[in-house]
Amino acid sequence: MDGLMRWRRRKALERTGLPAVVREWLDAPWPGPAQSWRDTPFTALDLETSGLDSGRDQILAVGTVDITAGRVCMDTAWNTLVAPSHGHVIGVPSIRIHGLLPERLSLAPRLADVLPLLVERLKGRVLVVHVADVDRPFLDRAFKVAWGCGAWMPILDTARLSGWFDSHPHLGTGREADESPLRRLADIARGLGIPVGRQHDALEDALICAQVMLALATRLEGMGMGTLGALRRVGT
């Protein structure tokens, strides 16, 4: 998969008209699999959306925070609301989850203005998300609409990291892996002793995701799995 993404990035760089910030992101080298995870730059990300269908629903908020040298860098924390496209209706069930009212979102920047700020923060870094099957399609769609390329970068999924421990009874909780394939981020955090504040807030969830990743990566490191490649084999 990495080889395919690298090829796609090279092909995209052959096109004209790409903004400089996108070219820099596409051209930035990735950390190698043999590199210690503690020496690897990560960025934890969370999206709040109007639903779970990436083909129909929209990104309403983005939160990110960097992980550098095995630490969460609070001075890099960043978040923004995103105005939905004109005429897009945000359903009541969605509002009940994230609390983002249409009136508030109407004052936010458009996704086209947010994406360059986001891609600048992802340059040369490994993305950390909780349940990549949810977040990645939204990023792929947004990038393709804006620039004609997908969100082609290495991703580490904290849901899969946690699930790996759960599937090994002597390491995790003893549950079978398929009993809870998509454990909630807050539940994983609490199980690791990580305080959980307000949920379904993009920045708060990105911070929790970063802490969960650090806790699980540290456990794997203690088992002799301390490289980026080892983490990605478990968490991709």
The answer to whether 148 and 15 have CB atoms below 8 angstroms apart is: yes
What integer pLDDT is reported at residue 22 of this predicted model? Answer: 97
- DSSP for 88-153, please give it: PPPPHHHHHHH---HHHHTTSPBHHHHHHHHHHHHTT-EEEESSHHHHHHHHHHHHHHHHS----S
**pLDDT above 50 (res 180):** no
**pLDDT above 70 (res 93):** yes
What CATH number does the domain containing 51 carry?
3.30.420.10
Helix then strand then coil, % of the chain, to nearest 5: 45, 15, 35
Q: Which two structure tokens, joined as six digits, stand for 42?
A: 């990560």
How far, in Å, CA of 118 to CA of 145, rounded?
A: 15
pLDDT band at 177 (very low <50, low <70, confident <90, very high): very low
Tens digits of per-residue pLDDT, 62-91? 999 999 999 999 999 999 999 999 889 898
Which residues have C-beta within 8 Å of that of residue 154, sequence separation ≥ 6?
2, 5, 30, 31, 126, 127, 232, 236
Average pLDDT over residues 11-21: 95
What integer pLDDT is reported at residue 169 of this predicted model? Answer: 58
Number of domains in the chain: 1
The answer to whether 156 and 60 have CB atoms below 8 angstroms apart is: no
Domain range spanning residue 113? 2-235
Average pLDDT over residues 129-145: 97
Pairing assessment for the beta strands 59-68 and 71-81 based on DSSP bridges: antiparallel
